[in-house]
Amino acid sequence: PDTSLCIGQNWILDAGNPGAQYLWNNAATSQTITVTNDSTYSVVVTDANACVQRDSILVTFDPLPVIPISDATVCVSDTVVLDAGNPGSSYVWSTNETTQSIEVMVNSGVYSVVVTTPTICIDSADVQITFIPFPVVDLGPDTALCDTEQITLDAGNPGETFQWWDGSTSQTVTL
């Protein structure tokens, strides 16, 4: 019977009848051939009595699921939605959830999913989700200044980006 396989699988067609002569439509003359492409494969088998038998089979290769997830680094208050795509497939996540998409909150780590398509083609993907804490900003205690006094506020966190109320973007601002 005709058959479907998944891309990446090899399948061996066996014409049986050991000791006979074989001629496949791809010019092979062995009892077995390995198929890796969509095609109709035909064979002519001639036994020792010159009896001839013909057979053919249509072999198609279905695609593996494409899993569109990627690593993410987000703030600790954010939620990451991981969607494995491939509607109509079945899913098993490393969290034991079995839905197409899951929500990830707070816990950094590697999340994995195995996707099985309706044609039983299976693939998996891993994704690293990293939750980073908010920067700690302490501008010091409230301070009262006279009109001529200045104070420099330092947001700390060297190497980060800054945005002050006046539009300046340095780590410090002088008032």
Cβ distance 100 to 84 under 8 Å? yes
pLDDT at 1 (0 to 100): 81
pLDDT at 34 (0 to 100): 97
67, part of any domain: no
27, part of any domain: yes
Domain residue limits at 120? 72-132
Which CATH number do you get for residue 84? 2.60.40.10
Q: What is the pLDDT of residues 64-83, one digit of tens each?
A: 999 999 999 999 999 999 99
Please tell me which residue, 148 or 127, carries the higher pLDDT value.
127
Regarding whether 164 and 125 lie in a shared domain, the answer is no
The model's confidence at residue 106, banded by pLDDT at 50, 70 and 90, is confident
Based on the structure, what is the number of domains in the chain?
3
Please tell me which residue, 100 or 159, carries the higher pLDDT value.
100
Regarding whether 42 and 87 lie in a shared domain, the answer is no
